[in-house]
Structure 1
Amino acid sequence: MSAFTATPRLARVLIVALRWRLHEFAAGTRIYRPLALLAAILPRARRDLNTLPRGERLRLAFTQLGPIFVKFGQVLSTRRDLLPGDLAEALAKLRDRVEPFPGDQARKMIERELGGPLQQFFQHFEEIPLASASVAQVHAATLLDGHEVVVKVLRPGIGTRIQRDIALLHILGGLVQRYHPHADKVRPLDVVAEIEKTLEHELNLQREAANASLLRRNFSNSPDLYVPKVFWDLTRQSVLTLERVHGIPADDIKALDAVGIDRRVLAIKGVRLFYEQVFRDNFFHADAHPGNIWVDPDSGTEPRFIALDFGIMGSLPQDDQYWLAENFLALFEQDYRRIAELHLASGWIPSSVRVDELEAATRTVCEPYFSRPLSQISIAEVTVKLFQTARQYQLTLQPQLILLQKTLLNIEGLGRQLDPDIDIWAVA
C-alpha cells in the first residue's frame, strides 16, 4: 500500500485517535505538539473523556476502528513485556464480535469451496450463525449420516481488508520507529510482523484443522481434555467442518455449580493440562480464554475440558523449551543467580550484561512476591515482571514465548476463578 492510497484510512485512524485524546502516547516526541494542536480543534469522542483511564480510551478507539484493529489490540495485549500493565489489561478486554454476514453468502462460499450444492454434503444447514467474529463465522449443520457439526467459514473479502490494515500498521509502525524515543525497546515493526503472521494463520482454516487434529491425537487417551473431530472431506482453506460439541464456558461458575462440576479438581486439571501441552507435547493452545475452553456438563466430580478454536497454537524451539523449564525450576527454588545465568546462556540477553547486575535486578523483582504464602503468588505475574525487568537489558524473546506467557496468564487466571485457594506452585 502506497502512502497515497493509504491516506484516507490513515486520516480516519488519526482522527479517531485524536478524538479519544490518544496523542498523549506521543509525549516526548517531535510530533506531540502538532498532534496536540490538532486534537484541540477536534470534538471529543465522549463528554466524560477526562474521567476515562488511558487504557479504556485506547480500547474504545480500537473498537471504533473496526475488527482488524480489535484483533491488533488483542495481540498487543499479550505483549506485557512491552506494555504497561494498565494498557495490557484494558486491551485484553477487547471482544472480537461483529455483525454476521448473510447466511446465503456463507452458503455460496461453502458450495464454491466444496464444489457442489449444500444438500450434497449436509442434511441441514442453519443459515443464522452460532457465532460471528472478525475473520470468520460459525454455522450449525447436520451431515447426511446424522452427525451434528459446525461449519466455520471465512468472511467474504476478509483477506483484502486484513492486507489493507496490516499495510497501514506497517506505516504507523514506521512512524513510531522513527519518532518514539524508546522505539529500540518496543521494536514496533517486529510487533506488526508478529500480528501479520498471526492473522495469516487465522486465514487458513486447513491449518486450523491440522492444529485440531494434532491436539486431538495428543490427548486421545486423556480423560481430562476432549478435542472435536475434524471432517477433512468437508474442510478447505476457507471452510472448516468440526464435530459439534456442547459444553459450559469454563468461567460460568453458576452453570458449573448447577450441574455438580467439582471446580477444585477442574482448576487443578486446567493447570496440569497447560504444563503437559508445553513440556510433554511442545504444542499448546495459545488462545485459551473461557470462550474457547468449555467444560463437559456431564463430567461431574471428574470434570473434563473441551477445547475449541485452534487458530492460534504455539510450540517452542527445543532450546527455548529447555531454558524455560530450567528458569521455572530456578524460580521455584528462588535461585536468582541461576535465573540470571540462564537468561545469559540462552542468548535471550546479550553476553555483555554482567551476571551479578542481572541477579540483583531479578532479586529486586521477585523478593516482594516471595514474602507472601506460595498459594498467593502468581507464577504468571512473576514471569511477566521478570521479562519486563529483563527488557532493560535488551531481552529478545521469540514470539512463541510471548504466546506461552499469554497462555499462562489465561490458565492461571481461570484456575483462580474456579478455585480461589488453588496453590499454582504445588500443582506445577
Structure 2
Amino acid sequence: MTNTLHYLAGFGNQHLSEAHPGALPQGQNSPQQCPLGLYAELISGAAFTAPRHSNLRSWVYRRQPSVVVSGYAPLAQPWLKTGAAEGETVAPDPLRWAPSPLPEGEQDFVAGLRTLVVNGDPDAHVGMAAHLYLATSSMLRSAFVNADGEMLIVPQQGALRITTELGRLDVKPGEIALIPRGLAFKVEVDGPSRGYVCENYGAAMRLPELGPIGSNGLANPRDFLAPVAWFEAENAGRYEIIKKFGGSLWRAEQDHTPFNVVAWHGNLAPYKYDTAHFMTIGSISFDHPDPSIFTVLTSPSDTPGWANIDFVIFPPRWMVAEHSFRPPWYHRNVMSEFMGLVLGQYDAKPEGFKPGGASLHNAFVPHGPDSEAFAKASTVELAPHKLDHTLAFMFETRYRLKPTAYALQGGQLEASYADCWRGLADQFKP
C-alpha cells in the first residue's frame, strides 16, 4: 500500500472533510441545491431520537445517491453464518482451532469469510459473530454493505486497504478497523491475508468508561483515525454491490461506483486504531488484575456492566507484581470468551496457541494456564519482566457462543486441546 493517506483524529468526534473545495454546504445540511451539483444523503447509525451523546449520523454529498441500484438477488456464501439459530449445540467443553491455511486460488474478503462462532439475533439487535477472513485477491469493482451489524476487523497477516464511502483506511497487523453498520466498503489486499472479524449486532462500539482509572488511560480518543473524504475518479462503470441483510447475502449491480462521496460531515465514521497506542494498566504490587483493564471498545447491553461485546487486547507490557502468580489464574466466567492471537506467544499458552488460531471458552467453562505455563510461573524468579512481541485479543460477550458446522468440521479444530491441563496433578501436602 504505497499511497499516503490523511486522517481525522478522535473517536466519535464531529468530523468534516471535503475532497474538492466548496463541496460542503455552508449553514445547512440539505440546501435546495447542493454545491457542485452533488446530492445530499444522510446515513444514520442510531434512531433519530437517541440521546445526543449516543446519536450517530453523517451527512454525505455524493455524485449519485445510493438509491440508484438494480434489484437484489440472493448470493450464495456457505461459510458465512448469522445469529444463534445458525450455530451448533455442543457440550460445555473448551475449544481451540489451529491457524487456517490460506487458499491457493483467488479469493476476496467477502468470499473468504468463515464464521466460527455465533450468538444473538441481528433483527433483535443483540449478540455477535466471530469470523475469520482468508483473502488472496482484492475487491476491485465490488463493494460490501453489512446491514446486520458493524464490523471490527483485526488483521493477523497482510496489510489491508479498506475503501469506504467516507474515505480510505490503510490497516496492518497490530492495527484494527471499525466499519459502521450499513456503510459500503471494499477491501484490497497486499498479498495473502488472514485475520479476524467481530460482527456486532448490538449497540455500536464505544470507548469504555474509565471509572476509578480517571480521565486518562486505556485507548485514547485522539488515537482513533477517521478517513478524509475521497472518491474514485472514474465514476461510471459496472459495480457489484453485495449486501448482508437478515443473515443472508444479496447481490445487485449499478452503473457507477458507490465510492463517490466528495464531502461529508458528522460523527458516524469508520476508524482505524493502532494497538501500540494503548495505555496498559496493571498491578504494580501483587496479584493478577481482571482482564477488563485491557478493554479497547465496548458494545453495552441493557444490563450495566454485562456487555453485549467487549473487545479486549493483551499487548506488550511490563510484569512486576511481587509474590504473585503472574499469568491469568484458573477461572470460570459468566462471560463467554472468543480469543485470537495476532503475533508472538500468549503467556498462558506459550506453545499450543499459534498466531492465526482461536479458542472459545463459554460461560462457566473452566480455563487458564496450561501445565507448562503453570510450572514455569510457579517457580520463576519474580524480577521485572516485559512481555514483548505479542498481541492477543478477546471478543467477550454475555451471551453463549455457538460454534458453526464449519468450525466443528473445517479441519482446524484441535481434538486434544484439553490435554494441555492433564499434567496438573494433585499436589496437596497436608
Q: Which has the higher helix share?
A: 1
TM-score by length of 1: 0.25
TM-score by length of 2: 0.25
**Which structure is higher in RCO with an 8 Å CA cutoff and minimum separation 6?**
2
Q: Which has the higher strand share?
A: 2
